[in-house]
Amino acid sequence: MRRSLAALVAVPGIVMIVPAPVCGAQTYLREADAARAMFPQSTSSARKTLELSEGDMAALSKSLGRRVETRRYAYLEVKSEKGIAGVVLFLDVIGESQPITFAVAVTADGALQDIQVMVYREPQGEAIQEKRFRKQFVGKRAKDPITLDKDIDAISGATISSRSATFAARKALLLAEVVRGRMPASGEP
């Protein structure tokens, strides 16, 4: 586990404890391991890029209630012996001050399979990578409410990171809908 040290800063008449900056990022999951970690039944995966149209970006912005400016998203199309198992989308979502990189797995029928922290760059809040927090998202769909402190409980001391994870889950489910809408009826790209 990564630790940050606090420093005492003395100003005449005032003593402050200032958290030291985190040195480096904590990596929990590599892209090369994401398909197998999130879809244990996977037999193969292919890295692809989703490119959004202006219409897609406008619809996504409206659904999220936040302007979306990123047009391209990397994802893995994951296959099993039965065909396409789903997709793993890779998203950077701002935490308190640094991006948190998430991998969000969505099944072929649109249910959230898993959400994992790939890279955590904040000084605190990494508890969002623990299974007890992540399991709240399993089975959620794009039409479901996914709201912090309503149907997703925040981790104490990691409220901002919990909010980032909630946003990543909502955004990934919507992006997965776009990916599914572009697949031929057979489910094969």
pLDDT in tens, 174-184: 999 999 999 87
Q: Are 123 and 158 in contact (CB under 8 A)?
A: no
Q: What is the pLDDT of residues 141-159, one digit of tens each?
A: 999 989 998 899 999 989 9
Residue 188 lies in a domain: no
The whole-number pLDDT of residue 15 equals: 53
Residue 175 lies in a domain: yes
- Domain of residue 49, residue span: 24-182
Q: What is the pLDDT of residues 122-146, one digit of tens each?
A: 988 989 999 999 999 999 999 998 9
Apex 122 CA angle, 116 and 124, nearest 5: 90
The whole-number pLDDT of residue 183 equals: 84
Apex 42 CA angle, 36 and 48, nearest 5: 80
Q: Are 111 and 126 in contact (CB under 8 A)?
A: no
pTM for this one? 0.84
Residue 121 lies in a domain: yes
Apex 94 CA angle, 77 and 117, nearest 5: 45
Q: How far apart are CA 121 and CA 25, in angstroms?
A: 5
Task: DSSP letter for 66, please.
Answer: S
Task: Please report the DSSP string for 80-133 in residue order.
Answer: ETTEEEEEEEEEEEE-SSSEEEEEEEEETTS-EEEEEEEEE-SSS-GGGGSHHH
Residue 11 lies in a domain: no
Number of domains in the chain: 1
